[in-house]
Amino acid sequence: MMVATLLSVAACRREIADAYGNFEATEVTVSAEASGRVLRLDVEEGARLAAAADVGLIDTTTLALQRAELLARRAAAQARVREVDANAATLETQRVIAERELARTRRLLAQQAATAQQGDRAERDAKVLGDQLQGAAATRSTVGKEVASIDAQVASIDERLRRSRVVAPGGGTVLARYVEPGEFVQLGTPLFKMAALDTLTLRAYLSGAQLAQVALGQSLTVRVDAGGDSLRTVQGRVTWIAATAEFTPTPIQTREERTVQVYAVKLAVPNVDGRLRIGMPAEVTLAAAAPASGASK
């Protein structure tokens, strides 16, 4: 049994790969969305974070005080609104009475049962109350705009408070941590870097002749080092094929091979056990293989 396994490993090593590449992942650098002292940052390199996890806090004391001041100003402005509304209601009642008095005085004047002075007084009272109502309406509008302005400022403070909380933008693994609690950060300061490692992307390069053997969604065999002279086989699914050719990337090919134009392809490779790493080299065999259990579909 052991002899058969060794022969299998040796045969695997003798098999010539069709393409080579390295694993990569979409890395996200989470930066501070507010300025202040870092009160808490619950991330450690290698830790897995759930999407939208609350992992840190930047000092919000100043913002909280500003919000409290705004709320006090809004309460005072709303009290003024209620006062103006109550005064306007009283003036409206007085205006209605004055209008009735004016109408009655005009009837008496028509019957020569009232004096011109009484008529002038009734008209004056009705006009004064009308003007006062217009003034109350203008005051109501001004105070209402002040309340709306304060509400907008409170909303702005609330948004800044929300941005003071450090939240994981998605699920993934912490790759690096850049600051410690107690440090002062500015808006945009990098806090930590993370990436989703459940599925890695293998970027490999094919010649124009090989490209005809590859199609989107195709399952291909990917081999990675498993220690010693052995290779571990996993399945990768083709997710992207470059539309244009490029020269072979300098770091991974000989000088002669760098003059050859190739096409980049990407394969999604499941990393359920976490044994694949960003930057790890791998080789690809173009012959389609039977899907392995747990392979992406």
DSSP character string of 134-157: HHHHHHHHHHHHHHHHHHHHHHHH
User: Looking at the structure, do residues 142 and 257 belong to the same domain, yes or no?
Assistant: no
Report the CATH number that the domain containing residue 223 is assigned in CATH.
2.40.30.170
Q: 135, 161, 187 — which closes off a domain?
A: 161
Asked if the structure places residue 5 within a domain, the reply is no
User: Looking at the structure, do residues 91 and 147 belong to the same domain, yes or no?
Assistant: yes
User: Looking at the structure, do residues 116 and 171 belong to the same domain, yes or no?
Assistant: no
User: Looking at the structure, do residues 228 and 92 belong to the same domain, yes or no?
Assistant: no
Give the E-state strand segments of 148-296 in sequence order. 165-167, 172-177, 184-185, 190-195, 199-206, 219-225, 231-241, 246-247, 261-270, 281-288
Asked if the structure places residue 266 within a domain, the reply is yes
How many structural domains does the chain have?
A: 3
Asked if the structure places residue 241 within a domain, the reply is yes
Banded pLDDT at 296 (limits 50, 70, 90): very low
Average pLDDT over residues 174-181: 97
Asked if the structure places residue 294 within a domain, the reply is no
Average pLDDT over residues 67-85: 96
Domain range for residue 261? Answer: 16-26+197-288
pLDDT at 291 over 90: no
pLDDT at 2 over 70: no
Asked if the structure places residue 125 within a domain, the reply is yes
Asked if the structure places residue 2 within a domain, the reply is no
User: Looking at the structure, do residues 202 and 284 belong to the same domain, yes or no?
Assistant: yes
For residue 214, is it left (φ>0), alpha (ψ between -120 and 50) or beta? beta
Banded pLDDT at 147 (limits 50, 70, 90): very high
Residue 221's closest CA among 213, 161, 243, 229? 213
Q: 161, 186, 209 — which closes off a domain?
A: 161
Report the CATH number that the domain containing residue 177 is assigned in CATH.
2.40.50.100
pLDDT in tens, 226-271: 888 899 999 999 999 999 988 766 555 555 555 578 999 999 999 9
User: Looking at the structure, do residues 144 and 274 belong to the same domain, yes or no?
Assistant: no
Asked if the structure places residue 248 within a domain, the reply is yes
pLDDT at 4 over 90: no
User: Looking at the structure, do residues 33 and 156 belong to the same domain, yes or no?
Assistant: no
User: Looking at the structure, do residues 149 and 210 belong to the same domain, yes or no?
Assistant: no
pLDDT at 9 over 80: no
pLDDT in tens, 36-46: 999 999 999 99
pLDDT in tens, 92-130: 999 999 999 999 999 998 998 889 899 899 999 999 999
User: Looking at the structure, do residues 215 and 102 belong to the same domain, yes or no?
Assistant: no
User: Looking at the structure, do residues 134 and 221 belong to the same domain, yes or no?
Assistant: no
User: Looking at the structure, do residues 55 and 69 belong to the same domain, yes or no?
Assistant: no
Asked if the structure places residue 296 within a domain, the reply is no
